[in-house]
């Protein structure tokens, strides 16, 4: 009776199932089937080699393409119509050199490798997998620039989204944290959930206003990336022309602007996050929730110790039409007008 060379772990990333070895009793053809959440996604006939072994290779990409992003799935393998083995799938396109249980217990579902730079109005998302109830906590470090005094403060994250199963996402904005006293500003904060910890460092914009994109990360969960360099909006309409009655006219003009964003300094901790954004298929502007399409990026990491690492990303809006928000007319002299000094 054919059987797997090794039993599958209780949980796995798709890359952990990239190759499967099957022992056979004879040279008869083998029917190999894969089911994800009860639906057959692959069924094929395979033939043992001279050692009565069947090797199924390059399964990781196929599995990733057949599981919904941000969704925990159950995968089962069938040999000659009989169930052989199965496991719980955690979506991930990266090859993570760690077993799923350890990774999910100690890490948020993000490729960040350390402290992330954010700003006071930055929208942040952190997702995690947990089979036990945990209470996410934010620990803040406040600093008084004039006196040099520091204060620690902690609070519970209020906005938690349960995606079903054991997937959760917490969302927070540093600007909503409560200042402990007048004169203090937020320096940094740490978000913890069980054994998981993620540190954030506040950046004070000087020359450029930050620009943020939200995207589906490697694990299929929402995450944001903030650009602290220059962001340039450029309009280069695509024009189609033809000759009508002896005159050349534009009969079609597609005017969709493009944006080129500079990251600013990319720390070693944030470089994997930027690489994840560059490879994302679903991206939105965080300021207006409009979906965008990445058209180009530059992400070169040098081993020069004295070179500052930076990156750029170019995108356009996914729709052919752009979102326009007219200015609202201010009602200045109504009953709400301040008459304190009358």
Q: Which residues contact 97 (CB under 8 A, 6 or more apart)?
A: none
Percentage of residues in the chain having pLDDT higher than 70: 93
Residue 15 corresponds to which tokens in the numbers above?
């890359």
228-247 pLDDT, tens digit per residue, is 999 999 988 888 888 888 88
Would the pLDDT of 26 be above 70?
A: yes
Long-range Cβ contacts of 283-289 (<8 Å, 24+ apart): 283/213, 283/214, 283/215, 283/216, 283/315, 284/213, 284/214, 284/215, 285/212, 285/213, 285/214, 286/123, 286/212, 286/213, 286/214, 286/224, 287/211, 287/212, 288/323, 288/325
> What domains does the chain contain, in order, with CATH numbers?
3-89 (2.60.40), 107-317 (no CATH)
The three-class DSSP label of residue 120 is: coil
Q: Are strands 291-299 and 247-254 parallel, antiparallel or unpaired?
A: unpaired
β-bridge partners, 298: 312
Give the pLDDT score at 193.
95
Give pLDDT, residue 304. 86
Compare 65 and 329 and report the one with higher pLDDT. 65
Q: Is the pLDDT of residue 65 over 60?
A: yes
* pLDDT confidence of residue 320: 65
Residue 339 clears pLDDT 70, i.e. is over it: no
Looking up tokens 């720390």 gives 267
Q: In Å, how far are 240, 241, 257, 259, 329 from 234, measured between CA atoms?
A: 19, 22, 6, 6, 28
Cβ atoms within 10 Å, residue 307: 10
pLDDT at 44 over 60: yes
- Model pLDDT, residue 332: 52
CA distances 7 to 55, 84, 247, 297, Å, are 15, 9, 74, 41
Confidence class for position 329, pLDDT limits 50, 70, 90: low
Write out pLDDT tens, residues 92-150. Answer: 988 888 899 999 999 999 999 999 999 999 999 999 999 998 999 999 999 999 999 99
pTM: 0.85
For residue 313, the tally of other CB atoms under 10 A from its CB is 23
**Bridge partners, 252 (sequence order):** 240
Cα 91 to Cα 70: distance, rounded to the nearest angstrom:
7
Q: What is the pLDDT of residue 338?
A: 54
Residue 335 pLDDT level (bands cut at 50, 70, 90): low
Structure tokens at 175: 């600007």
Which residue did the predictor score with more confidence, 323 or 203? 203
The answer, yes or no, to whether residue 333 has pLDDT greater than 60, is: no
The two three-digit tokens of residue 282, written as one number: 């679903």
Residue 323 pLDDT exceeds 70: no
Q: Pick the closest to residue 31 from 64, 7, 56, 9 (CA basis).
A: 56
pLDDT > 60? residue 337: no
Q: What is the pLDDT of residue 215?
A: 97
Mean pLDDT of the chain: 90
pLDDT tens across 167-184, in order?
999 999 999 999 999 999
User: Is 97 exposed, middle or buried, given 0-12, 13-18 or 19+ CB atoms closer than 10 A?
Assistant: exposed
pLDDT in tens, 258-275: 999 999 999 999 999 999
Cα–Cα dist 122/192, whole Å = 18
pLDDT score at 156: 83
Name the 3-class secondary structure at 105: helix
Q: What is the 3-state secondary structure (H, E, C) of 279-296?
A: CCCCEEECCCCCEEEEEE
């Amino acid at each position: 009776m054919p059987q797997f060379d090794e039993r599958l772990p209780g949980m796995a990333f798709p890359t952990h199932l990239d190759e499967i070895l099957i022992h056979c009793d004879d040279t008869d053809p083998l029917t190999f089937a894969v089911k994800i959440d009860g639906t057959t996604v692959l069924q094929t006939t395979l033939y043992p080699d001279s050692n009565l072994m069947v090797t199924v290779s390059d399964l990781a990409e196929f599995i990733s393409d057949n599981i919904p992003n941000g969704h925990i799935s159950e995968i089962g393998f069938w040999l000659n119509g009989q169930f052989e083995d199965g496991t719980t799938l955690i979506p991930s396109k990266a090859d993570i050199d760690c077993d799923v249980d350890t990774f999910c217990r100690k890490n948020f579902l993000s490729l960040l490798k350390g402290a992330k730079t954010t700003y006071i109005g930055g929208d942040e998302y952190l997702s995690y997998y947990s089979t036990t109830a945990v209470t996410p906590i934010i620990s803040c470090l406040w600093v008084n620039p004039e006196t040099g005094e520091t204060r620690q403060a902690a609070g519970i994250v209020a906005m938690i989204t349960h995606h079903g199963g054991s997937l959760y996402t917490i969302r927070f904005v540093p600007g909503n944290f409560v200042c402990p006293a007048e004169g203090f500003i937020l320096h940094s904060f740490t978000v913890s959930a069980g054994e998981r910890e993620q540190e954030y460092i506040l950046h004070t914009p000087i020359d450029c206003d930050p620009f943020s994109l939200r995207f589906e990360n490697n694990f299929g969960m929402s995450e944001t990336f903030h650009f602290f360099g220059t962001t340039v909006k450029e309009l280069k309409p695509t024009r189609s022309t033809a000759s009508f009655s002896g005159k050349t006219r534009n009969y079609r003009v597609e005017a969709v602007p493009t944006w080129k964003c500079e990251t600013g300094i990319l720390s070693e901790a944030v470089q994997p996050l930027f690489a994840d954004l560059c490879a994302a298929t679903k991206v939105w502007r965080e300021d207006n929730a409009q979906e965008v399409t990445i058209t180009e990026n530059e992400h070169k990491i040098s081993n020069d110790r004295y070179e500052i690492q930076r990156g750029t990303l170019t995108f356009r809006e996914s729709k052919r039409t752009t979102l326009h928000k007219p200015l609202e007319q201010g009602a200045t002299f109504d009953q709400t007008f301040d008459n304190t000094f009358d």
